């Protein structure tokens, strides 16, 4: 976790990051994070061997497909050749943690820090992840810009606009760790699984991509001590209670775009679906359930909770009847000794991280289905832990009806134009220049 293992390694470049959106209670101050990049090797921008951060001046609209001045189809992409704002500069020791939050250069330093930290966390599970566009461009261009009301990634770029009116509080996505980590999740998937423009015509592949990007953001947040501590304190160790960790991309204190701790099942997509972000919910929820199941199993194995209490906690109907005794049991055990809860959480997080990383390297993106994801997850878990958590994997997918009910056809949603999702363009074809 940040503040422990990473700080102890020494020698990395330091930045300051808001662990969650800064308008949320308890997250108004940035924390110092040490990146894997050796201090002194990161230049003004920031720029390192994998990333180049840019605050463009005069950039209108996002990169991607468009039309030229003659109305013909065209493509725009990195590198940005126009004017740019002054870069964030490292101090004489090579760190960026001395830049004040109010300094205009903080935005670029923060965006870079989030993207690099997310890659560090995900490579910790996946091993080295070369860019999928690496043969064309050496670095990912991270842009912090104003003329765009969304965030997306593609061939060599990660563009972070502003969340404007109508979707929570207005703020730059460059300051939103979850947003950056979600986009980094997409980029890692492109690298590990390969990609082709036509793949997203398959809704289950699109839903899978969004679910995995949300889970990537979750894994990144779960490496930030202030977030984990706040969650365990607020829930007193019972992770099924809605909390910061299961929310992805909070745009206002009570307005998160997606929440992993929910009860969405495949049943509601039987008749059709219109948005892969919605379709991602049962799959992302199933993997979050696996994490909670593993965590609770570890608590029982450590003698911190009785199997009977955990059995009630994993059953929604039973929880409604026995909420108070279950809460009291968690609260008493957590109050007596919180450290084992943190250790169990870190272990469960890493089981999930390695499970996902192996899946990403193993799954064939062509014709991908949720049922195949569930089938492969069981096999991967056996290879990872010898089947210790196989029941958690099987029951989590079964509860969401994954592998039992396939989604119906894509249907048109009349509300869709007014209900634009975050990361809407991220996975839209084409992903690379024609
Ligand atoms: Zn996305």
The CATH number covering residue 144 comes to: 3.10.170.10
331 Cα to the center of ligand 1, angstroms:
36
Same domain, 218 and 85: no
Tell me if 274 is assigned to some domain: yes
Does residue 124 register a pLDDT over 90? yes
Top mean pLDDT of 60-74, 392-406, 411-425 is at 392-406
Instruction: Let me know whether 235 and 277 are in one domain.
Output: yes
End of a domain among 161, 196, 231?
Answer: 196
Residue predicted with more confidence, 410 or 205 = 205
Q: Which domain holds residue 23?
A: 5-196
123: CA distance to ligand 1 center in Å? Answer: 19
Residue percentage of the chain with pLDDT more than 70: 83
- How far does residue 163's CA lie from ligand 1's centre (Å)? 15
Pairing of strands 64-67, 51-54: unpaired
**Mean of pLDDT over the chain:** 84
Render pLDDT for 354-399 as a digit per residue (tens, 0 to 9): 999 999 999 999 999 999 999 999 999 999 999 999 999 999 999 8
84 and 101 in a single domain? The answer is yes
| Residues 287, 179 share a domain | no
What is the distance in A from the centroid of ligand 1 to the CA of 173?
A: 13
- Which pLDDT score, from 0 to 100, does residue 414 have? 56
Q: Which of 421, 398, 62, 413 is nearest to 248 (CA)?
A: 421
What is the pLDDT, as a whole number, of residue 144?
Answer: 96
Tell me the average pLDDT across 336-343.
Answer: 90
Give the CB-side neighbour count of residue 144, counting CA atoms within 13 A. Answer: 30
What pLDDT score was predicted for residue 323? Answer: 62
Ligand 1 centroid–CA 256 distance in Å is 14
Q: Give the distance (Å) from ligand 1 centre to CA of residue 183.
A: 6
Q: How many domains does one find in the chain? A: 2
Same domain, residue pair 171 and 31 = yes
Ligand 1 centre to CA of 346 (Å) is: 25
Task: Note whether residue 378 is domain-resident.
Answer: yes
Does some domain include residue 93? yes
Cα 209 to middle of ligand 1, angstroms: 7
249 with 155, same domain? no
List, as ranges, residues with CB under 5 A of the ion ligand 1.
210, 213, 423, 426
Indicate whether 26 and 138 sit together in one domain. yes
Q: Please tell me whether residues 223 and 354 are part of one structural domain.
A: yes
pLDDT in tens, 50-73: 999 999 999 988 898 888 888 888
Domain-embedded: residue 428: no
Highest mean pLDDT among 109-113, 198-202, 313-317, 333-337: 109-113
424 domain residue, yes or no: no
Confidence grade of residue 21 (pLDDT, cut at 50, 70, 90): confident
Tell me the pTM.
0.89
For the segment 206-261, what is each residue's pLDDT rounded down to a tens digit?
999 999 999 999 999 999 988 888 888 888 888 776 544 555 545 555 455 556 66
Out of 153, 172, 196, a domain closes at 196
Asked if 187 and 217 sit in the same domain, the reply is: no
- pLDDT per position as a tens digit, 248-294: 545 555 455 556 666 788 888 888 888 888 888 899 989 988 998 99
Verify that 153 and 226 share a domain, yes or no. no
Rg of the chain over all Cα atoms, to the nearest angstrom: 21
* Percentages (nearest 5) of helix, strand, coil residues in the chain: 45, 15, 40
Q: Are residues 175 and 45 in the same domain?
A: yes
Say how many Å lie between the CA of residue 120 and the centre of ligand 1.
Answer: 19
Distance CA 264, CA 279 (A): 9
Q: Is the residue at 433 inside a domain?
A: no
Cα of 46 from ligand 1 centre, angstroms: 24
249 C-alpha to center of ligand 1: Å?
Answer: 11
Per-residue tokens: 355: 């499970």
Domain match, 243 and 133 both: no
Distance 182 CA to ligand 1 centre (A): 6
In a domain, 125, yes or no: yes
Does the residue 434 lie in any domain? no
């Amino acid at each position: 976790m940040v503040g422990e293992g990473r700080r102890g390694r020494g020698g990395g470049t330091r930045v300051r990051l808001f662990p969650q959106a800064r308008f949320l209670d308890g997250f108004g101050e940035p924390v110092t994070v040490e990146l894997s990049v050796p201090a002194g090797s990161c230049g003004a921008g920031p720029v390192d061997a994998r990333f180049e951060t840019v605050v463009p001046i005069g950039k209108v609209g996002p990169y991607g497909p468009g039309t030229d001045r003659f109305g013909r189809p065209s493509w725009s992409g990195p590198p940005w050749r126009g004017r740019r704002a002054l870069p964030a500069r490292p101090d004489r020791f090579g760190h960026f943690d001395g830049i004040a939050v109010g300094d205009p250069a903080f935005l670029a330093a923060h965006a870079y820090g989030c993207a690099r930290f997310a890659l560090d966390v995900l490579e910790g599970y996946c091993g080295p992840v070369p860019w999928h566009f690496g043969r064309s461009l050496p670095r990912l261009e991270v842009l912090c810009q104003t003329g765009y009301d969304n965030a997306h990634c593609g061939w060599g770029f990660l563009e972070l606009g502003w969340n404007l009116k109508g979707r929570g509080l207005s703020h730059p996505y460059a300051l939103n760790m979850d947003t950056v980590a979600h986009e980094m999740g997409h980029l890692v998937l492109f690298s590990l699984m390969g990609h082709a423009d036509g793949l997203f015509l398959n809704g289950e592949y699109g839903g899978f991509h969004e679910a995995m990007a949300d889970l990537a953001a979750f894994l990144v947040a779960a490496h930030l001590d202030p977030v984990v501590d706040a969650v365990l304190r607020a829930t007193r160790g019972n992770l099924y209670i809605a909390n910061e960790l299961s929310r992805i991309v909070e745009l206002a204190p009570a307005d998160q775009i997606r929440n992993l701790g929910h009860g969405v099942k495949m049943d509601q997509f039987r008749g059709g679906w219109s948005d892969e972000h919605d379709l991602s919910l049962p799959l992302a929820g199933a993997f979050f359930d696996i994490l909670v199941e593993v965590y609770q199993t570890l608590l029982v194995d450590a003698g911190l909770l009785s199997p009977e209490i955990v059995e009630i906690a994993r059953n929604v109907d039973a929880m409604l009847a026995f909420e108070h005794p279950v809460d009291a049991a968690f609260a008493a055990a957590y109050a007596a000794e919180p450290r084992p809860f943190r250790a169990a959480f870190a272990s469960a997080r890493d089981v999930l991280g390695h499970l996902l990383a192996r899946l990403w390297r193993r799954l064939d993106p062509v014709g991908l289905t949720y049922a195949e994801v569930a089938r492969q997850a069981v096999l991967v878990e056996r290879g990872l832990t010898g089947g210790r958590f196989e029941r958690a994997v099987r029951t989590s997918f079964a509860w969401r009806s994954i592998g039992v009910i396939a989604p119906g056809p894509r249907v048109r949603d009349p509300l869709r134009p007014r209900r634009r999702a975050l990361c809407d363009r991220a996975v839209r074809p084409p992903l690379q220049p024609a």
